[in-house]
Structure 1
Amino acid sequence: MGTGTKCLGASRLSGRGDLVHDAHAEVIARRALVRLLYSEIGRGASPEWLVASEDGGRWKLRDGHCLHLYITQLPCGVMPVPPSELELREQLDGGVNGCRDISFVQRKPGRGDTTLSMSCFDKITRLSVVGIQGALLSHILEPLYLTTITIGQLPDGAPEGFSIESNIDKVINARLSSLSSRLSASFKLSKPKFFEAPVPPKEFQQISGDVPPLTCGRRLVEAFLSLEHPLVTKFQSGELSYRAMKDEAHEYQHTLELLRKAPFFSCWRAKPASLDSFAVSR
């Protein structure tokens, strides 16, 4: 579970790996799942919902198990009235000018200091290609994909003519259809099914900002390095940068590069390399 509505502006980003740059609820919930994965794999015993893969000693999700995401409101970046199929095609054929259109990737809204974080809807689309595990876990885990995403209705109701199940479905389909099929063997285009839920109870709706937050400052990279796994031990001697460890996940990085070259994602701006070039030692 995760809650949050904020992300740091560009001037506040840290190159030491000690701050979470994007603290929207969807991102925090994904980080919580990643922490669970590290905890389960780090116990030494085989997790009941993971099974050994035939792919070089990695883990994979056990058959019959699925991952589901519930969000209490529309993710940022979802357009109230998506463009028609014709408009989507015209934007795809329109080259770089299409980057200003709402069906392409968007930065998250910020007050004053511009953010470098892409919208949650853009990140959900990205997870449908590279998986939710991230680069580090790709060393020891096959890609994990969401099977369903359920979104709670807005308390004031949805805009006229808007349907979560059909409208978001249409945009996801258009985005994924623009990708190349030359993905690495472990990866695939995995479109989750979208469902609409009733308005969530008040205790699960957005609350005022004067409630003290609960935080956890431990870095995920430390959890990765603590694993007693043959595919991790090569990173446990000497000193490496966080960037170098992520770059070593070659299949993941190749798939991410294909994603960024696709028409819908050509405006995705990677954060400066200096932000994750900090040294990591065990």
Structure 2
Amino acid sequence: MHFKFLYLLLCLIGGDASLSLVPSSIGDCSELIGLVQRKPGRGDTTMSVSCSDKIARWNVVGVQGALLSYFLRPVYLHSVTVGRSPYVSEDVCLVKQLKRSLFERVTPLSNELIKPFEVNKPIFCAAPVPPKEFQHSETAQATLTCGYSICWNKSGLHEVILGTTGRKQGTSSKGAVYPSTESLLCKKRFLETFVSLRHECKIRCSSNEVSYRELKDRADEYSSASKLFKGRPPFRNWLLKPVNLENFSIIRNEGNYPSGNSGNSCDFQG
């Protein structure tokens, strides 16, 4: 079975792809074009890079991430479609901006990547201006994005997530530590699901705890491609999150996991 992943946005993505569209009245951004940008936040400074940088990275390592790379070959985007803004001149070639930011910045890696990884070139498309119901008001003093995210899955279930905390909607300040407030998309749940599928990729762990960080690092091919990407300009200043955020573990159930030698090591056989 063959799938194609299509990426659709109602407005131009933030970061490098939109820098050349910044009005001169706001300032000169020419020196920043091509560089990694920090994603802006409403309050505290974020630890995330812009959407332009993330999608450029997807065109090298895929969208599946490190853990799914144990099971899947790199999953690349087939197309990226962006809706035009009513406040940007039609003379501006959005497709050209997307191609430069999301593809041409990573083309120097083409001869350095090792299969199955490669530099992916999706189809870039510019959609018509969205209906007024989906446009930001021209008279608004500031453009504010929604503080919630709706996450859907194949079963038809969905979660409404608070963007500032990553917890489910309705979570009180006192209940934020309870497992019932955790999203199915949080890293802890990812780890639990991955460990439940360990037999599919022949994982043998001799430790009673499985580290999320270690499992990611042991995805050798993915890790090598990711390090190559972050080690080349213009991505050398990629924002790295604190290691302690991924050093958590879950306790293994000895009755359900394959036994191994003594010690705190894991063997992975793809």
TM tier, smaller: 0.5 to 0.7
Does the CA-based 8 Å contact 1:225-1:235 persist in structure 2? no
| CA-CA distance at 1:185 after TM superposition | 1.6
In the other structure, the counterpart of 2:14 is 76
Counterpart amino acid of residue 248 in structure 2: F
Please say which of residues 164-173 and 185-194 is displaced more in the overlay. Answer: 164-173
Asked if 1:230 is matched to 2:215, the reply is: no
Asked if 1:189 is matched to 2:119, the reply is: yes
Asked if 1:260 is matched to 2:260, the reply is: no
| Structure 2: stretches of 5+ with no match in the other structure | 22-30, 137-143, 151-159, 162-167, 169-182, 253-270
Residue pairs, 1:190-209, within 5 angstroms:
190-201=120-131, 209=146
Q: 2:50 aligns with which of 119, 133, 136?
A: 119
TM-score by length of 2: 0.66
In the other structure, the counterpart of 2:37 is 106
In the other structure, the counterpart of 1:132 is 63
SS in structure 1 of the partner of residue 245 of structure 2? helix
Q: 1:150 aligns with which of 81, 86, 90?
A: 81
CA displacement 1:30-65 (0-9 Å, x = unmatched): xxxxxxxxxxxxxxxxxxx3xxxxxxxxxxxx3xx3
Distance in 1, Cα, partners of 2:233 & 2:149? 41
Distance in 2, Cα, partners of 1:244 & 1:131? 20
Distance in 2, Cα, partners of 1:280 & 1:175? 38
Closer, same or farther in 2 for the Cα pair 1:192/1:204, shift >3 Å? same
Q: Relative contact order: is structure 1 or structure 2 higher (C-alpha 8 Å, sep ≥ 6)? A: 1
Closer, same or farther in 2 for the Cα pair 1:103/1:149, shift >3 Å? same
In the other structure, the counterpart of 1:281 is 251
| CA-CA distance at 1:208 after TM superposition | 6.8
Does the CA-based 8 Å contact 1:225-1:232 persist in structure 2? no
Distance in 2, Cα, partners of 1:223 & 1:72? 32
Distance in 2, Cα, partners of 1:210 & 1:105? 24
Distance in 2, Cα, partners of 1:66 & 1:184? 22
| CA-CA distance at 1:121 after TM superposition | 0.6
Q: Which has the larger helix fraction?
A: 1
CA displacement 1:97-121 (0-9 Å, x = unmatched): xxx6232110001234111100011
In the other structure, the counterpart of 1:245 is 215
In the other structure, the counterpart of 1:169 is 99
Distance in 2, Cα, partners of 1:246 & 1:183? 19
Closer, same or farther in 2 for the Cα pair 1:250/1:122, shift >3 Å? same
Does the CA-based 8 Å contact 2:12-2:18 persist in structure 1? no
In the other structure, the counterpart of 2:5 is 67
SS in structure 2 of the partner of residue 178 of structure 1? helix
| CA-CA distance at 1:80 after TM superposition | 4.3
TM-score by length of 1: 0.64
| CA-CA distance at 1:203 after TM superposition | 5.7
Matched residue count: 205
| Structure 1: stretches of 5+ with no match in the other structure | 1-48, 50-61, 83-99
Counterpart amino acid of residue 220 in structure 1: F
Counterpart amino acid of residue 158 in structure 1: V
| CA-CA distance at 1:209 after TM superposition | 4.4
Aligned-pair RMSD on alpha carbons?
A: 3.0
